[in-house]
Amino acid sequence: MASDKVVAFSDANFDQEVIKSDIPVLVDFWATWCAPCKAIAPLIDTVADEYAGRVKVGKVNVDENQAIPGKFGVRGIPTLILFKGGVVVDQIVGAVPKSQLDALLAKAL
């Protein structure tokens, strides 16, 4: 993770960091072997920097944390899920352009 604003979420801290967050949270479900995940990573860093203070941005490594992806029905990666008030607002599967991420985040701001 290049941006210091991107948080590492795990099965252990997910409820505290995401579900109980006071601000919307964008979660990137990814894996080290996933080429589209690597392609979208710089975009996730950019979004984390641009929306700092308004949206929390973080990543869940699906190989290291299997309970959370299963709970939210993550079948393909990258999957980006937007949470607000502890509930899923929307999600995107696959590497997408920044304009699509901005539109997704606008739903929670």
Contact 26, 82 (CB under 8 A): yes
Q: Is the dihedral of CA 57, 63, 66, 69 positive or negative?
A: positive
Give the active site residue among 34, 82, 92, 104: 34
> CA gyration radius for the chain?
12
Active site residue 82: no
> Of 7, 26, 37, 55, which is the active-site residue?
37
Q: Sheet holding 56-61: strands in order across?
A: 6-9, 56-61, 25-30, 79-84, 87-93
Asked about 37 being catalytic, the answer comes back as yes
Cα–Cα distance list, 92 to 13, 20, 23, 28 (Å): 22, 22, 19, 10
Query: Which residues are known to be catalytic?
Result: 34, 37
